[in-house]
Structure 1
Amino acid sequence: MKRYAALTVVAVIALAGLQTSAQEMPKVAVIDVQVLVQESAAGKEAMGRLAKLQNDKVAGRKKLSDEFDALQKQFAAQSATLTEAKVAELRKQLEDKEIAIRRYDDDATQELEKAKGTELGGLEKQIMPIIQEIGREQKLLLIFNKFQSGLVYADEAVDITDQVLRRFNTKVTTSGPAK
């Protein structure tokens, strides 16, 4: 009986210790980087620059497409009345314009990807010191990038996104492209 009482006391003490440690600050946290990019002032500015670049590329593509369409209409309307040499010349112009459009698309895609990498890399350089600072302050052992780390679920108690966002918006000034 004494042995049973002693085991019960040990179990109660162990459970009390677990409950106390469960109430302490979590040693693991998550952060939603997508929220930081979309809601921070610097992130909004970077996304605005990317959107402007994309709109410029779309406008350039539309201009090339309009030129191609005009050539196609000219070819359709005049091919029956033109000489063989003129028909061949128009066909060559159409092929050249088609190649120019494909090159433009490839170049635009590469330029947009490079700009995205530059912008997001600049944001990362600005935000990492803040994440590390909060991690040290809260004595966190690990901080995961929510949903991009293979994480499927995280309780809101371990999500530090709002803390990082507030500090990021107060510490980082927005001006010009990210370096």
Structure 2
Amino acid sequence: MKKIIVALIATLLLAAPALAETRIAYVDLQKALNLSKAGVQAKSEIAAQVKKYEAEFKAKRGELQKLKGELEKQAVLLSDSAKAQKERDFQKSGKELQRFQKDVKDELQQKDAEHTKRILNKLFEILQKLGKDGGYSMIIEKNEGAVIYADKSIDLTDELIKAFDAAK
């Protein structure tokens, strides 16, 4: 029993210096994405495109509603073939509007993903440098569920944002 206790104490004494040298920090990459200058600029670019596309969509929807109104007003006066043609035109316009909406959504998602990837790649480069220069053994991402508790003193997020903005 004494040998076990002595071995345990020896192990703890030898492990203590190794633990003291370990430096761990965390970053909130979502916060860095949202608050960095590049992140704010990317968001505003996408918001401007959303506004532009919303105006286009409203105009196209107005045309579609106008076509529907004409169809309803002229339904009694039109021949069957002319009425059928107007209905086909209306359905075609409706499908085009849906396609436009889907294409815009896909385009905006792709642009957002491209901006995010570009910014994250740069953030990771800077994190590598911060980790090396700061003597950190590990830097973990706060929002990935791995951090249950962390003291604010080891949060490098603000330092990361400053370094990222300065790197431009």
- TM-score when scaled to structure 2? 0.82
1:115 to 111, 114, 124: 111
What letter is aligned with 1:162?
D
| 1:79 corresponds to | 75
| 1:154 corresponds to | 149
- Which structure has greater helix proportion? 2
Q: Give every structure 1 segment of 4 or more consecutive aligned residues whose post-TM-superposition deviation is greater than 4 Å.
A: none
Q: What is the number of residues matched between the two proteins?
A: 161
Does the CA contact (< 8 Å) of 2:33 and 2:39 recur in 1? yes
Structure 1 163/82 Cα, relative in aligned 2: closer, same or farther at 3 Å?
same
Structure 1 93/26 Cα, relative in aligned 2: closer, same or farther at 3 Å?
farther
Matches within 5 A, 1:130-145: 130-145=126-141
Query: SS at the partner of 1:29?
Result: strand
- The CA deviation string for residues 33-92 of structure 1, in whole angstroms up to 9 with x for no partner, is 121122111111111111112222222221221111111111122212221122111101
Matched, 1:93 2:86: no
Q: Which deviates more from structure 2 when the two are superposed, residues 118-127 or residues 92-101?
A: 118-127
Partner Cα separation in structure 1 for residue 147 and residue 63 of structure 2:
49
| 1:176 corresponds to | none
Report sequence identity in percent: 19
1:70 to 58, 66, 70: 66
Structure 1 131/103 Cα, relative in aligned 2: closer, same or farther at 3 Å?
same
Structure 1 94/25 Cα, relative in aligned 2: closer, same or farther at 3 Å?
farther
Consecutive unaligned residues of structure 1, counting only runs of 5 or more, are 173-179
Aligned residues: CA RMSD: 2.6
Consecutive unaligned residues of structure 2, counting only runs of 5 or more, are none
- TM-score when scaled to structure 1? 0.77
